[in-house]
Amino acid sequence: MQEKIALLMEETGCDRGEAELALEMCGYEVEEAVKAIGRLLRNIVVIKGKFMVPEASEFGLFLVILNIKAFVLLRCRAVLSFNPAVFSVPLEKGWFEYEKALYGGRLWEGSVPAESLEIEKRLSSHFRESPPAALEHLGRQDTSAVESDLTRLLARHFGAGQVKLQLRKDILALGEFHSLHQRPEGDRRSVKRASRPEDQLVLKIELEPDAAGMAASEMRVGDMVSTKIVDARDIAQYLARVFGGHSDSGPVPILAPIEAIESVGSADKKASPTASGDILARVRFSTGVCGDARISRERRLKVVRIAVRNQESHSWWRRFFRG
């Protein structure tokens, strides 16, 4: 029993109370409990916003996604444009479709890429520097407080007297956030060749080596890996600049999350990444844009594993059942 609890906590990042409850609900089947945790823990806060600066006739969108349990900023995307069509994107779209629309706006005439990235950095800093209690409170409060904070942030950025901002907040379970295309449960850990080509732009990348780093065979889905975009195509070079992965001197490393890992070069196509042969790793840069790299399983890489903090004292399960 204790081994199952420890395994479930390691696999999902849940605390002990949540693991015990999920196992009890699922008849102590670990695989079913993992799925249940993904459906039950509504810790993902999605903030979608659109704004206009009337004085400058500028329009923008942004998307912020936070894990308020782990206190981690998962995504922060923004676009600024002189094209008013950007402001017409409805906030009711799901976060996946909204991010698609945001990236589409970056490719429209009138987009301002450099300032889009500057707004992205300001938003990222704002949420990363927020105290854990403030992030945890996001899941319970309405949008008025965060709307006021972000309106002031944008007004300072533009030096404008008026910024019109509209926000929408959605709260998702972890499983809802991960199931971008409603893929079958068994497909999430492998790179799928059957994806429609129009859904994915796959870039050629290299993973940054580090003699003191983690062996490729030890990498896991969700780890952040230092990545260089080395694709020579024009669209790849443009996106590298958008993502901050290119400078005047050439490609520069950026951190990107590992989305899938697959063992290749082995007779057993279903072999785990620790089996013999190379490893194919897919990293995710944004919706519709990812990168693939093939590396030796022994190669050591610069990898960051985000440790989930012990949230036992903050767990609502604990507070609910505390006697």
Element (H, E) at 22: helix 16-25
29 and 53 co-located in one domain: no
Using an 8 Å Cβ cutoff, are 19 and 33 in contact? Answer: yes
In a domain, 322, yes or no: no
Q: pLDDT digits over 101-115, tens only? A: 998 888 888 899 999
pLDDT band at 263 (very low <50, low <70, confident <90, very high): confident
In a domain, 183, yes or no: no
Mean pLDDT for the stretch of residues 176-201: 46
251 and 196 co-located in one domain: yes
Rounded CA gap, 281 and 302, in Å?
A: 14
In a domain, 61, yes or no: yes
Last residue within a domain, chosen from 177, 203, 226: 177
125 and 67 co-located in one domain: yes
pLDDT of 47 > 90? The answer is yes
Q: pLDDT digits over 144-160, tens only? A: 888 989 999 999 999 87
Cα–Cα distances (Å) from 296 to 43, 62, 226, in that order, read 36, 38, 16
Q: pLDDT digits over 293-318, tens only? A: 999 989 999 998 865 444 444 444 34
6 and 95 co-located in one domain: no
pLDDT of 321 > 70? The answer is no
pLDDT band at 189 (very low <50, low <70, confident <90, very high): very low
Rounded CA gap, 287 and 46, in Å?
A: 15
30 and 50 co-located in one domain: no
- Residues of the domain holding 22: 2-41
In a domain, 278, yes or no: yes
In a domain, 109, yes or no: yes
Q: Kindly report the average pLDDT of the chain as a whole number.
A: 78
37 and 54 co-located in one domain: no
pLDDT of 78 > 90? The answer is yes
Element (H, E) at 96: helix 95-107
Phi, psi of 262 (to 5 degrees): -140, 135
Three-state DSSP class for residue 13: coil
101 and 208 co-located in one domain: no
pLDDT of 271 > 50? The answer is no
14 and 62 co-located in one domain: no
163 and 224 co-located in one domain: no
In a domain, 320, yes or no: no
Rounded CA gap, 114 and 98, in Å?
A: 21
Rounded CA gap, 159 and 105, in Å?
A: 23
Greater confidence (281 vs 41) lies with 281
48 and 173 co-located in one domain: yes
Question: What is the pLDDT at residue 25?
Answer: 67
9 and 73 co-located in one domain: no
Q: Count up the domains in the chain and report the number.
A: 3
In a domain, 50, yes or no: yes
pLDDT of 276 > 70? The answer is no
167 and 53 co-located in one domain: yes
Rounded CA gap, 34 and 250, in Å?
A: 42
In a domain, 133, yes or no: yes
Phi, psi of 164 (to 5 degrees): -95, 120
